[in-house]
Amino acid sequence: MRHGRWRFLLGALVPALVLHVVFVLSPYAQAFYLSLTDWTGVAGAAHYVGAGNYARLGGDTLFLDAVRNNAVMLLVVPAVTIGLGLFLASALHRGGRGSRGGSAYQIVYFFPQLLSLVVIAVLWGFVYNPNTGLLNSGLRAIGLGGLAHSWLAEPRFALVAVMAVLIWSSVGFYVVLFRAAIDAIPLELFEAAKLDGAGDWSSFRHVIFPLLRENVRVAFVYLGIAALDGFAVVQVMTVGPGGPDGATEVIGLSLYRNAFTYGRFGYASAMGVALFFATLTLALLALRSGREERHAL
């Protein structure tokens, strides 16, 4: 029996482990090393340049644009998505548990979550089209033609347009997630709040929000990671891509372009490492704020 046990364990673990080491672990490890070289893809021609690539990042204006845009996305996208998600989830809850209309809304809200970001980006590229798009022709139809813009071509609107797409595509998922969490709150709490004279807003603030804090934190981490990415939507939808004039550049796009257009593999790896530390910081901050709150309780 012991013999069979080890043979089974080896058979179960080794194939997946080989894949994991070859395609996941080794590339991650190599990326850290490559970021310290000037490698351009020629075998054996990588020179160690220390922190040179990282110093260069600080003077790369397009990369700095990307960092600024990702930072704006990080501030705006999670906050707006979670705000809308919480609002719609409590509105659905208020409409009554298991109500027919409520679940029909949920079905509609959730659908964009299932679509590939490429499909979403192509679709919104059409919506934003200055002449024939849904948005401008809609504005003109209701007499607001003055508000019509070339959404993706004007620097002050392009990033907003990208963020709107990211928010549009993810709100539904968080509505469903938050709705399930709100439905799990005992009804007595809402009734007690109502007896105390709480209206919609104060029962949201004092009952729903405190009890959903953990869900909101998880949502912040997921959405924060998505906001640090943004690659697919920007690459498919924006002019350039990343334009106009760097207005929608994101770190992932800079990395992709430097690696696979210019062949600057060492430099691109440094961007990857920078992105990794940004993601890590975000996750650790979220984790720590959770721990402090538990201590405070």
Residue 37 tokens read as 């070289």
Q: Minimum distance from CB of 159 to another protein (Å)?
A: 19
Q: Minimum distance from CB of 295 to another protein (Å)?
A: 23
Indicate the residue among 57 and 177 with the shorter CB distance to another protein: 177
Burial class (CB in 10 A: 0-12, 13-18, 19+), 207: buried
Q: Minimum distance from CB of 175 to another protein (Å)?
A: 8
Indicate the residue among 291 and 295 with the shorter CB distance to another protein: 291
Q: Minimum distance from CB of 63 to another protein (Å)?
A: 13
Any idea what DSSP says for residue 142? T
Closest by CA to 262, choosing from 271, 234, 207, is 271
Indicate the residue among 75 and 114 with the shorter CB distance to another protein: 114
Q: Minimum distance from CB of 64 to another protein (Å)?
A: 18
Indicate the residue among 27 and 155 with the shorter CB distance to another protein: 27
Residue 278 one-letter amino acid: A
Indicate the residue among 24 and 55 with the shorter CB distance to another protein: 24
Cα–Cα distance, 80 to 157 (Å, whole number): 17
Q: Minimum distance from CB of 50 to another protein (Å)?
A: 19
Indicate the residue among 200 and 293 with the shorter CB distance to another protein: 200
Cβ-contact 228, 280 below 8 angstroms: no
